[in-house]
């Protein structure tokens, strides 16, 4: 147990660590007083608790959001942008504390956590500006005594359910466009990472985001989800997480016909062709596979390496992977933190066991790290084939599954042989091949000669069962707007 003093996480600003939800501008416990423990995945220590809220608290947060909305939506886009800009600036000023909270509750190395704070803040800056560019249309009339005008209006009260793997960025990627468009949002963060969400809400309050416009509830996920998806006040649900939960929420939203955005699981292929630049391909593969210890929905899950470059790639890739330092994310130089919970480690072990039983070889790693139950050695498996579980299921851990292939059409078929379609990657130098393969891949995002595709300026999202909608970019605000067409008659009278 962490020592419970006034500043258990050693923050510069201890007030950023809250253990209560935010409803209508009031910090509160669950009605029942019940709580859930929150643990540091690196040490197993209990950091503190988070309220075990349910339907009633969620309903109150939604009603408070609805009451607060007219004044917020009634501001000009520039007035909202000025407040959002302050939120962005305060986030950056508090980078060290936000990063520390994130590392302690989620495990990612501090350097990655700092990077996430900057990435998360970039969505606020971007959408604060995009809010000023919510343009409508005039349409040439179909009758000469009429005029047609199209305006865009905030969709209404929105709700977000977010995951633990990006505890800050998944909040801003949703809340920033909503707030910029004039909509309030009630957020349910993952029970494993509530403190990042609470800290973001503290900073939002300081920036002047009015009471009720941003609510945070934690606790009984199915009960909170049930209220969010059935409450008729809510007009839109945005979710990032697993595909089964996304499907369930979509079903629940059908009852009141809510608009939904879904950012769900992936099964990213990472293809290296013979003509790729080897060093560039290895660097891209490490970035894509081992970022966040493999716990992102855009992490390479299947690495298809063409036969001519296969052995050279494995040699260089292994040399680099060996250098990844595993440890507590708070320690200097650590590049691979723990996985979020022991069950995540067990999933990696299951994938390895299954693959090895079917003929794959462990080239590197392959077992738990001596540091503890949540740490896993960065691993490379070779000789992986489509029959193995890892070909169809996201590992969500630091294990690279390497397949060998011979020709372009074969690898396109293999890469598309999945119900998922979020991110895909390819490394090649032949420009014709780059275009052909990129166009043929059934994915929402294609990284070419790079393993890092995330930025606020580009549309993030998937096709097939990886989801619906796009986040970030000029498209990311559309989901928080409704289109109204006004037909004005009597022009000539």
Ligand X SMILES: O=C(O)CCCC(=O)O
Looking at 55, 130, 227, 263, which residue is catalytic? Answer: 263
User: What's the rounded Cα separation, in Å, for the pair 238 and 231?
Assistant: 15
SS3 431: helix
Site for ligand X in 263-302 (CB under 6 A): 263, 296-298
Q: Please tell me whether residue 454 binds ligand X under the rule CB under 6 A.
A: yes
Q: What is the C-alpha to C-alpha distance for residues 10 and 150, in angstroms, rounded to an integer?
A: 52
34 is an interface residue for ligand NDP by CB under 6 A? no
What is the edge-to-edge ordering of all strands in the sheet holding 137-139? Answer: 137-139, 147-154, 481-488
| Residues from 246 through 275 that contact ligand NDP (CB under 6 A) | 248, 263-265
**Residue bearing tokens 């004039």:** 182
Q: Is 165 in the site for ligand X (CB under 6 A)?
A: yes
With CB under 6 A, what is the number of residues at the site for ligand NDP?
Answer: 23
Decide if residue 398 touches ligand NDP (CB under 6 A).
no
Instruction: Select the residue interacting with ligand NDP from 32, 82, 242, 416 (CB under 6 A).
Output: 242
Concerning whether 263 is annotated as a catalytic residue, the answer is yes
Residue in this structure with the two tokens 């260089």, named with its chain if needed = 316
Angle between helices 169-181 and 194-207 (to 10 degrees): 30
Distance between alpha carbon 205 and the CA centroid of its chain, in Å?
Answer: 23
Selected binder of ligand X within 240, 306, 382, 473 (CB under 6 A): 240
- Partner in contact with 264, chosen from ligand NDP, ligand X, none, beta carbon below 5 to 8 Å by kind: ligand NDP
Token duo for residue 454: 């995330």
DSSP one-letter string for 280-316: HHHHHHHHHHHGGGG-STTSEEEEEEEHHHHHHHHHH
Of 161-169, 311-319, 380-388, 412-420, the segment contacting ligand X by CB under 6 A is: 161-169
The residue from 2, 73, 211, 221 that contacts ligand NDP (CB under 6 A) is 221
Give yes or no for residue 466 binding ligand X (CB under 6 A): no
Q: Nearest approach, Cβ of 467 to ligand NDP (angstroms)?
A: 8
Q: Pick the closest to residue 214 from 16, 421, 26 (CA basis).
A: 26
DSSP conformational letter for 211: T
Q: Is residue 35 involved in binding ligand NDP (CB under 6 A)? A: no
CB of 193 to ligand NDP, least distance (A): 8
User: Both tokens of residue 397?
Assistant: 């851990």
What character string, x for contact with ligand X (CB under 6 A) and - otherwise, covers 169-188? x-------------------
Burial of 286 (0-12, 13-18, 19+ CB in 10 A): buried
Min. distance of Cβ 429 from ligand X in angstroms?
A: 25
User: In this complex, which beta carbon is closest to ligand NDP, that of residue 179 or of residue 190?
Assistant: 190
Backbone angles phi, psi at 196, to 5 degrees: -65, -40
**Among residues 163 and 338, whose Cβ is nearest to ligand X?**
163
Tell me: does residue 38 bind ligand NDP (CB under 6 A): no
Beta bridge partners of 38: 48
Number of residues in contact with ligand X under rule CB under 6 A: 10
DSSP 326: B
Residue 71 or 452: the one with the smaller Cβ distance to ligand X is 452
Residue 454 binds what, of ligand X, ligand NDP, none (CB under 5 to 8 Å, by partner type)? ligand X
Phi, psi of 152 (to 5 degrees): -115, 135
**Which residues on neighbouring strands pair with residue 22, listed in sequence order?**
27, 216
- Report the residue number whose CB is nearest to ligand X: 454
Beta carbon nearer to ligand NDP, 317 or 460? 460
Q: Which residue is nearest to ligand NDP (CB)?
A: 225
Q: How far is the CB of 266 from ligand NDP (least distance, A)?
A: 7
90 binds, among ligand X, ligand NDP, none (CB under 5 to 8 A by kind): none
**What is the secondary structure of 214-262 as a DSSP string?**
EEE--B-HHHHHHHHHH-TTEEEEEEES-HHHHHHHHHHHHTTT-EEEE
Among 51, 107, 163, 215, binds ligand NDP (CB under 6 A): 163
d(CA 307, CA 356): 21
**What x/- string results for residues 113 through 152 when contact with ligand X is judged by CB under 6 A?**
----------------------------------------
- Residue 327: closest CA among 108, 148, 152: 108
Contacting residues toward ligand X, per CB under 6 A: 165-166, 169, 240, 263, 296-298, 454, 460
Contacting residues toward ligand NDP, per CB under 6 A: 161-165, 188, 190-192, 221-222, 225, 240-242, 245, 248, 263-265, 297, 394, 396
């Amino acid at each position: 147990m962490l020592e419970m003093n006034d500043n258990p996480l050693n923050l510069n600003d201890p007030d950023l660590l809250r253990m209560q939800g935010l409803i209508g501008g009031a910090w509160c416990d669950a009605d029942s007083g019940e709580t859930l423990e929150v643990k540091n995945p690196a040490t197993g220590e209990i950091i503190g608790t988070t309220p075990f809220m349910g339907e009633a608290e969620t309903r109150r947060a939604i009603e408070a959001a609805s009451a607060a909305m007219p004044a917020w939506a009634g501001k000009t886009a520039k007035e909202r942008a000025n407040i959002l800009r302050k939120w962005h600036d305060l986030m950056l000023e508090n980078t060290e504390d936000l990063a520390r909270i994130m590392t302690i509750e989620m495990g990612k190395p501090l350097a990655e956590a700092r990077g996430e704070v900057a990435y998360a803040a970039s969505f606020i800056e971007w959408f604060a500006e995009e809010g000023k560019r919510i343009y409508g249309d005039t349409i040439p009339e179909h009758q000469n005594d009429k005029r047609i005008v199209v305006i865009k209006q905030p969709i209404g009260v929105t709700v977000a359910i977010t995951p633990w793997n990006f505890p800050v960025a998944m909040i801003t990627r949703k809340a920033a466009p909503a707030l910029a468009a004039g909509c309030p949002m009630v957020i349910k963060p993952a029970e494993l990472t509530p403190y990042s969400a609470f800290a973001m809400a503290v900073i939002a309050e300081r920036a002047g985001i009015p009471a009720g416009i941003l609510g945070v509830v934690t606790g009984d996920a199915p009960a909170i989800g049930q209220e969010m998806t059935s409450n008729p006040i809510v007009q839109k649900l945005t979710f990032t997480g697993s595909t089964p939960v996304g499907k369930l929420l979509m079903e629940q939203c059908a009852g009141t016909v809510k608009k939904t955005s879904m950012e769900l699981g992936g099964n990213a292929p990472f293809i290296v062709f013979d003509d790729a630049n080897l060093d560039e391909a290895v660097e891209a593969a490490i970035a894509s596979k081992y970022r966040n210890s493999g716990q992102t929905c855009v992490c390479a899950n299947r690495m298809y390496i063409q036969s001519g470059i296969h052995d050279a790639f494995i040699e260089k890739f292994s040399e680099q992977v060996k250098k990844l330092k595993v440890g507590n994310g708070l320690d200097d130089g650590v590049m691979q933190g723990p996985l979020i919970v022991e069950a995540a480690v067990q999933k990696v072990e299951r994938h390895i066991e299954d693959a090895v039983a079917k003929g794959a070889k462990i080239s590197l790693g392959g077992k738990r790290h001596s540091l503890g139950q949540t740490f896993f050695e960065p691993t490379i498996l070779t000789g992986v084939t489509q029959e193995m579980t890892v070909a169809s299921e996201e590992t969500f851990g630091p294990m690279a599954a390497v397949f060998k292939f011979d020709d372009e059409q074969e690898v396109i078929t293999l890469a598309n042989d999945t119900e998922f379609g979020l991110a895909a990657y390819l490394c090649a130098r032949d420009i014709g091949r780059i275009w052909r393969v990129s166009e043929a891949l059934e994915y929402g995002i294609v990284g070419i000669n790079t393993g890092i595709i995330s930025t606020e300026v580009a549309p993030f999202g998937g096709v097939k069962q990886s989801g619906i909608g796009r986040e970030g970019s000029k498209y990311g605000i559309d989901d928080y707007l409704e289109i109204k067409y006004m037909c004005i008659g009597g022009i000539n009278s």
